[in-house]
Amino acid sequence: MSMEHERRRIGRRTFLWGAAASAGAVAIGGALAGIPGAITSATLLLPGGLRPTGILPSAVLAAAVPGGTLDPTTVNKYVAPLVIPPAMPRTASIKNNSMDYYVLAVRQFLQQILPPGQPATTVWSYGSHQAGGTFNYPAFTIEATVDRPVRVKWVNELVDGSGNYLPHLLPVDPTLHWANPPGGPGGRDMRPTFTSTPGAYTGPVPMVVHLHGGHSTEEADGFTEAWYLPAANDIPSGFATGGSYYDQFKTKAESLTGATWEPGSAVFQYENDQRASTLWYHDHTLGMTRLNVYAGPAGFYNLRGGSDDLPAGVLPGPAPQLGDPPGTKYYEIPIAIQDRSFNSDGSLFYPASREFFDGFVGPYIGADSSDISPIWNPEFFGNMTVVNGRTWPFLRVEPRRYRFRFLNGCNSRFLILKIVSNPVARRPARAALPFWQIGTEGGFLPAPVELDQLLMGLAERADVIVDFTGLPVGAELHLINEAPDEPFGGGKPERDFPVADPATTGQVMKFVVSPLISADASVPPSQLTLPTFTPLGAATVTRQVSLNEVDSAALEGVGPRAALLGTMASGSPVHKGWDDAITENPDLGATEIWEMFNFTEDAHPIHIHEVQFQVVDRQAIGGRHPRPPERWETGYKDTVISYPGEITRIKALFDLPGLYVWHCHIVEHEDNEMMRPYRVGP
């Protein structure tokens, strides 16, 4: 880590806290933000009214993250049980019972995310169109079988009871390179020009669903410019009702499947011709993904069966299935972890100005030649932990083994998860129970890996077994988070970065041991043999790409303005934006190594659509000694952490033709140019 790197990371954090201080913060601990190097765990800036609760060792006290008007330390923890999302009801079996068919809508509704007694929260999520009780944040889980296709009609129903469009719940920055429906067919999917700084976009909301990790054909991948508006009564005249690629993919999909795309919808068919794995589905609209996902719509998609799965009964189970009788006990549970901030009326908080991020008050785009967007924040960190749609829930567990499928569903926050006995123990805390990781994004690992902690970048999944066997009834364990309340750059908690506030974002959920109800017949993880792992063949092409961050080109010392991907030329990065000509164009059927050079100060989780890749190695840029992937990265993955100052090498087989994207899964980055189209084949 260079001095420059260190200075800028600290500078960003100081600036953020400085803004909080000006809004009525008090300094504790004798040190003030703004002094170079002064930001340590002993430096406390607590926004007005925020006080740590519980008994905290002074050395681990940290400030709560600034957010909305609801003080996270006033929200009681572990009062509501974890919600285990049921299986999503199918609409029909079609094609002579060879295919599952769903009609799934995204709607707006109220949900109790905060504890009982606190206000409910208006959210969006998916549910079964014909079954109103199935709308939940996170959405119910789609249960799919390898080689049995799933067809989904995805309907954008962000309309009110009169059929008029609903505006976004959150502030949409119209100055990004974004879907831009008001631009009409000639100006959609562009960065509009403004003569004065605009306010937030309040028109109808474009959406398009991506099955994350899916081996999807291009027309079913949820291409970011294939969005569509709801079929509302009052779409303003001149608006584009679909993105630049909506019509092209509609025509292709309709001819392939025979299913009609009606206004306000798209029909995607997933062949499920891939390894059994934990996928998830979420929105992918250009320049709006951070907001559309933060508002709620996302769900798990569990793909089972085939030669890359294990026979029933080997692993802890079952997971929820259709037709389960009430009271069914589940020992396989998906756990989506997200950070959110709230206002005191229960509404979601998301920053409405750039000023929230770094105090920069303008000039913004539209005035005085500025190129800084007025609303977009380069990263966002919520100040509360939400697990499966509830803040800090608890789960009663029997003294036996459980299979948890973890998802980091945050916007910008990396997670370092650990199971401990004391949630406010001095960090780094000692693990009370290990995780046995058995799988990642692309299915099972070659062998189980025993870990004291799980490091999870955005969108990564960890399929793990936790063994509570032998714990006394009444015992309590806590899942905590030791990643930072700021951009992650690698390293170890409290040595290389301050950990998340132990009073708030440093806690995730609680396990309470209850009496054993059913005997555990699953195989202990130390004795588990996972399905035979077949690695990719040799690569024929090595490609160099780059990760970059850019400051304002117009205003001295203001930044970042955007994050960019790009190529390499003679050892230096060549910056590329979303609209630049395609530079990654693998041949159909080619196996390629991509060397990702990270020239930024932060780690970025890089996601490539359509493929599941292998991590080859990592090394310092300019270094000579590559290091192998981590033990938990030895399976197939669709998202990989690229560390600052390093080259991260992955290997992928590009076996479906067409137009896809690769991008950073810090969704604030993805939404402001850190995404590139790529094409497989001609």
Cα-based angle 210, 216, 221 (whole degrees, multiple of 5): 35
Q: Could you say whether residue 666 binds Cu ion (CB under 5 A)?
A: yes
Query: Could you say whether residue 676 binds Cu ion (CB under 5 A)?
Result: no
CB of 361 to Cu ion, least distance (A): 25
Q: Are 296 and 137 in contact (CB under 8 A)?
A: yes
From the list 153-161, 453-461, 480-488, 659-667, the region that binds Cu ion by CB under 5 A is 659-667
Distance of closest approach, residue 577 Cβ to Cu ion, in angstroms: 14
SS3 313: coil
Structure tokens at 374: 């007025």
Which residues are CB-neighbours of 199 under 8 A, at least 6 positions away? none
CB of residue 45 to Cu ion, shortest distance in Å: 26
Pairing of β 562-569 and β 572-576 = antiparallel
Query: What would the x/- binding string for Cu ion be over residues 112 to 151, using CB under 5 A?
Result: ----------------------------------------
Distance CA 64, CA 504 (A): 7
Binding span for Cu ion by CB under 5 A among 94-102, 308-316, 366-374, 657-665: 657-665
Is residue 669 near Cu ion by the rule CB under 5 A? Answer: yes
Cα separation, 184 vs 680, whole angstroms: 29
Q: Which residue has the tokens 């067919």?
A: 185
Select 441 or 671, whichever has its Cβ closest to Cu ion: 671
Q: Which stretch binds Cu ion (CB under 5 A): 251-259, 484-492, 586-594, 666-674?
A: 666-674
Which residue, chain included where needed, has tokens 């899916």?
214
Complex with Cu ion: residue 209 or 664, whichever CB lies closer: 664
Q: How far is the CB of 227 from Cu ion (least distance, A)?
A: 21
C-beta of 462 vs 664, nearer to Cu ion: 664
664 binds Cu ion (CB under 5 A): yes
Quickly count: other Cβ atoms within 10 Å of residue 371's Cβ. Answer: 17
Type of residue numbered 542: T
Contact 47, 386 (CB under 8 A): no
663 binds Cu ion (CB under 5 A): no
Mask: binding to Cu ion, 565-604, rule CB under 5 A, as x and -? Answer: ---------------------------------------x
| Closer CB to Cu ion, 33 or 596, in the complex | 596
Helix or strand run (H / E) with residue 668? helix 667-670
What is the nearest approach in angstroms of Cu ion to the Cβ of residue 665? 7
Tokens 């490539």 belong to residue: 608
Minimum CB separation of residue 567 from Cu ion in Å reads: 17
Choose among 301, 219, 225: nearest CA to 268: 219
Phi/psi for 73 (5° steps) reads -80, -10
- Chain positions 601 to 630 lying near Cu ion, rule: CB under 5 A, are 604
Chain mean position to CA 416: 15
Least separation, in Å, of the C-beta of 506 and Cu ion?
A: 23
Q: Identify the DSSP state of 637.
A: B
Alpha-carbon gap, residue 25 to 22, rounded angstroms: 7
Considering only 49-57, 393-401, 493-501, 667-675, which stretch makes contact with Cu ion by CB under 5 A?
667-675
CB of 63 or CB of 666, closer to Cu ion: 666
Number of residues that bind Cu ion (CB under 5 A): 4
Nearest to 548 by CA among 525, 569, 521, 526: 569
The nearest distance, CB 606 to Cu ion, in angstroms, is 8
Nearer to Cu ion, 207 or 664 (CB): 664
Residue (151 or 604) nearer to Cu ion, CB: 604
In degrees rounded to 5, what are phi and psi of residue 294? -60, -30
Residue number with CB closer to Cu ion (118 or 639): 639
Q: How far is the CB of 669 from Cu ion (least distance, A)?
A: 3
Contact track, Cu ion, 258-297, x by CB under 5 A: ----------------------------------------
Our CB check for Cu ion shows the closer of 389 and 489 to be 489
Least distance (Å) from Cu ion to the CB of residue 302?
A: 27
DSSP-derived pairing of the beta strands 604-608 and 639-642: antiparallel
Is 413 a binding residue for Cu ion by CB under 5 A? The answer is: no
Which of 336/666 has CB closer to Cu ion? 666
> Residue 179 corresponds to which tokens in the numbers above?
């879907």
Partners of residue 335 on adjacent β-strands: 406
C-alpha separations of 583 from 103, 215, 226, 577 in Å:
36, 22, 21, 11
Minimal distance in Å, beta carbon 389 to Cu ion?
Answer: 26
Question: Which DSSP string corresponds to 182-237?
Answer: GGHHHHTTB----SS----B-SPPPB-EEEET----GGGS--TT--B----TTPPT
**Residue 449 binds to Cu ion (criterion: CB under 5 A):** no
Chain position whose Cβ is nearest to Cu ion: 664
**C-alpha to C-alpha distance for 55 and 424, rounded to whole angstroms:** 7
> Any residues with CB less than 8 A from the CB of 431 and at least 6 apart, and which?
418, 419, 420, 452, 453
If we measure between CA atoms, which residue out of 79, 100, 86, 92 comes closest to residue 135?
A: 86
Residue 674: CB minimum distance to Cu ion, A:
5
Q: Which is nearer to Cu ion, 443 or 489 (CB)?
A: 489
Q: Which residues, listed in sequence order, are joined to residue 681 by a DSSP beta bridge?
A: none
In the bound state with Cu ion, the residue whose beta carbon lies nearer, of 65 and 664, is 664
Ramachandran assignment for 490, one of left (phi > 0), alpha (psi -120 to 50 degrees), beta (any other): left
Residue number with CB closer to Cu ion (545 or 666):
666
| Rounded Cα–Cα distance for residues 546 and 47 (Å) | 38
User: From the CB of 670, what's the least distance to Cu ion, in Å?
Assistant: 7
CB of 445 to Cu ion, least distance (A): 25
Please provide residue 442's backbone torsions phi and psi, each rounded to the nearest 5 degrees. -100, 20
The residues, any chain, with a CB within 8 Å of residue 346's CB and separated by 6 or more, are 70, 113, 114, 118, 119, 120, 121, 122
Q: Which residues in 409-460 belong to E strands, given as ranges?
A: 415-420, 435-440, 443-451, 454-456
Q: How near is the Cβ of 378 to Cu ion at its closest, in Å?
A: 9
Q: Which CB sits closer to Cu ion, 386 or 562?
A: 562
In the bound state with Cu ion, the residue whose beta carbon lies nearer, of 387 and 664, is 664
Is the CB of 438 or the CB of 666 nearer to Cu ion?
A: 666
Least Å from the CB of residue 604 to Cu ion: 3
Residue numbers of the site for Cu ion (CB under 5 A)?
604, 664, 666, 669
